[in-house]
Amino acid sequence: MAKVKVIILRVAGTNCDYEAEWAFNLSGAYTERVHINQIIRKEKKLSDYQILVIPGGFSYGDDIAAGKVLANQIKIKLWEDIRKFIEEKKVILGICNGFQVLVKSGILPFGKDQQCTLEWNNSGHFEDRWVYLKVEKSISPFFIDLPDIIRMPVAHAEGKFLTKDKKTLEEIERNRQVILRYCDEKGKLRNYPYNPNGSIRNIAGICNENGLVIGMMPHPERAILKYHYPDFLRKKEENIFAPSFKIFKNMVKYFL
């Protein structure tokens, strides 16, 4: 059986591409780390892949705003390729900086002009720690069979999710496009420090209207094994794989 092909997009400042590659390789996929210029020059074709990953990091130094330069580059030079990719019901995953790119390009939440943003954290500084996340009953097929509450690390300065107006927020909620919310260890939605950035309604991740384009601020690729947890020595774990690993497996399984 042919392996699912994953393209991991690289630009200047990308720094989580190796972790994303490892997570998908472990899930049984074939991965390639590809610089955006290789696609622009037609050396690589986006259409040859089933999953596109825009990983974390600081693309182009987060000049102007986090993810904005790469978002503009995609809109100007790759929009038609991205549009066809989505129309063919392929999968896009944006993590942290990748999430910022997806919302600032307009790919999320509705595939048109920018409707949301990821603004500076309320704390005014970079937040780098583990958080609890409530898994919502969203339209995305990639979050089934996960526990109600999972843990992942965050590492961002601009992670505060906001919509341009209340109508947009209500449409996202009504469509069940919210995939994750920041919470406490019991699943209750609470403010800082549980919500590390002040996101409206504690939103940590969303998907598009068919659930196949995913954006999240927490890093699932940094929480693949229980050994990655900061307190793993205190617990005896029978299964070495953390729940967030299932997100990658579900994406690969979707094509099999």
Type of residue numbered 164 = K
Nearest to 144 by CA among 153, 135, 152: 135
Distance between alpha carbon 172 and the CA centroid of its chain, in Å?
16
Catalytic residues: 96, 219, 221
Nearest to 253 by CA among 91, 42, 17, 59: 91
DSSP class per residue in the chain: -PPPEEEEEE-TTB--HHHHHHHHHHTT-EEEEEEHHHHHTTSS-GGG-SEEEE-SB-GGGG-SSTTHHHHHHHHHHTHHHHHHHHHTT-EEEEETHHHHHHHHHTTTTTSSS--EEEEPPTTSS-EEEEEEEEEP--S-GGGTT--SEEEEEEEESS-EEEESSHHHHHHHHHTT-EEEEEE-TTS----TTTSSS--GGGEEEEE-TTS-EEEESS-GGG-SBGGGSTTGGGS--S--B-TTHHHHHHHHHHT-
